[in-house]
Homo-oligomer: A and B are copies of this chain.
Amino acid sequence: MYKGLVESLAERRGRSILLCVLDGLGDLPIPELGGRTPLEAASTPNLDRLASGGAVGQHVPIATGVTPGSGPAHLALFGYDPVDFFVGRGILSALGIGFPVRAGDLAARANFCTIGPDGTIADRRAGRIDTERNAELTELLSAGVRIPGVEVFVRTEKEHRACVVFRGEGLSEAVSDTDPGHDGLPPEPPKALDPSGEVAARVVGEFLRQAFAILADRHPANGILLRGFACHRDFPSIEQRFGLKAAAAAVYPMYRGVASLVGMEVLACNDIDEEVRAAGKAASDGFDFVFVHHKPTDSSGEDGNWKAKAEAVESFDRALPGLLEHGFGVVCVTGDHSTPCAMKLHSWHPVPLLISGGPQRSGWSRRLTEREALAGSLGTFPAVELMPLLLSSAGRLGKYGA
């Protein structure tokens, strides 16, 4: 994709777009399903109707063979080159809990952990302490840690998960994780990954010294591990780039975070029914682009539960007519990446997608499945090229050249 080309052609008028992301949608053939994927095995009358009347294809989330995290995968779907617009875990965590990050802030994802008598990590998740205990500890740390010239914010995510944001001059993200990734090892000291990271490494080291002192008698949460150091920079918004006033309906904080990063208005929801209503309200409030996130396809894939994954697809299928009632001009259903049940992990496999509405080569596919996607009229393309296809389908992209 040529840099800046699509932005230069985007028009600020046209039909509205609904993008439904079934997280981790793509899968592999499953022997117990007779070689079908969960998507093939699911009963999806509403998706089938949409596929028959629209066009089907598949996207490659980042690049052939590359497995994406959720952040880059969603950014690509929103039309942001996932390498040019890389966002580290720390910033995604901070955005996900609604922390008002500013340009230059350095954020890290944190785990409360249990440190054993020998100084090694006995449990990287501190026995999955409950969220209330977590909140008590983050308040202690916020109140107790003092670093000259640097503001430190410690915020609760959920269970053992928290987020730390450092605000001050000269903080770079070139700092190594302190979480070694396995129990039985000692926490790593934060190290500068290049000279630009030296100030930040000292600040993080001082934070950890004070934090471990404060947490010392708080077993099982007597330690804290930091990873995914990331600095915040201002992103051009989806409205600036593509002329789309956009809203996001999502249950999980992480997806709200990545949506807010590109300037979407975040509609916090607790379940798919609330998402359907929120999408409807956004449509009637004049939003041009609504992103709806559906998580259970990914969770069940990570559990390796193909039955639950097919059911997660079916629960979306049941919600679909409610979404279609809102009169979007173009509807796209896809995933951000594959989460094959056999792997219990994100994977690099292409992800099926369908587009309904606008001029399409339609009538060539009957279903949205991995197999039909491969032969669908939309072909195979990088996820970052989805946005131009949606904009064109919605009559929102001008002609290139005379």
Knowing A83-B2, A92-B402, A340-B359 are in contact, say whether A63-B385 is a contact too (CB < 8 A): yes
Whether A379 and B388, one on each chain, are in contact in the complex, defined by CB atoms closer than 8 angstroms, is no
A294 at the interface (CB under 8 A from B): no
Q: A63 contacts B401, CB within 8 Å?
A: no
- A82-112 CB contact bits vs B (8 Å, 1 = yes)? 1100111100100000000000000001000
Is residue A324 within 8 Å, beta carbon to beta carbon, of the partner chain? Answer: no
Are A5 and B63 in touch, CB under 8 angstroms?
A: yes
Q: Which of A64, A340, A346, A393 has the most CB of B within 10 A?
A: A64
| Contact yes or no, A66 B363, CB < 8 A | no
**Pairwise interchain contact A35-B397, C-beta atoms closer than 8 A:** no
A145 neighbours in B (Cβ, 8 Å): none
Could you say which of B66, B228, B370, B387 contacts A6, with CB atoms under 8 Å apart? B66
Ordered by A's residue number, 16 sampled pairs between the chains whose C-beta atoms are within 8 Å are: A2-B63, A5-B62, A6-B65, A28-B362, A62-B400, A63-B385, A64-B385, A65-B389, A65-B390, A67-B392, A68-B399, A69-B401, A228-B402, A343-B359, A348-B389, A375-B375
Residues of B within 8 A of A87 (CB): 401
Q: What's the dominant secondary structure at chain A's contact region?
A: loop
Contact indicator per residue, chain A 50-67, by CB within 8 Å of chain B (1) or not (0): 000000000000111111
- Give which listed residue, B9, B349, B390, contacts A66 with CB less than 8 A: B9
How many copies are assembled? 2
A 1-49 contacts with B by CB, 8 A:
1-2, 5-6, 9, 28-29, 35
In the assembled complex, A350 has its CB within 8 A of some CB on chain B: yes
Bound together, the chains give a CA A340 to CA B349 distance in angstroms of 31
Given A63-B388, A388-B63, is A28 in contact with B399 using a C-beta cutoff of 8 Å? no
Look across to chain B and name the residue whose beta carbon is closest to the beta carbon of A342: B359
B397 close to A66 (CB less than 8 A): yes
Q: How far is the CA of A325 from the CA of B89 in the complex (A)?
A: 43
A-B CB proximity, top 5 nearest: A65-B388, A89-B402, A69-B401, A64-B385, A72-B401
Q: How far is B391's CA from A359's CA once the two chains are assembled, in angstroms?
A: 34
Of chain B, the residue at the smallest CB distance from A362 is B29
Q: How far is the CA of A374 from the CA of B57 in the complex (A)?
A: 11
Given contacts A65-B387, A88-B402, A348-B392, 5 further A-B contacts (CB under 8 A): A28-B361, A62-B400, A67-B399, A72-B400, A370-B377
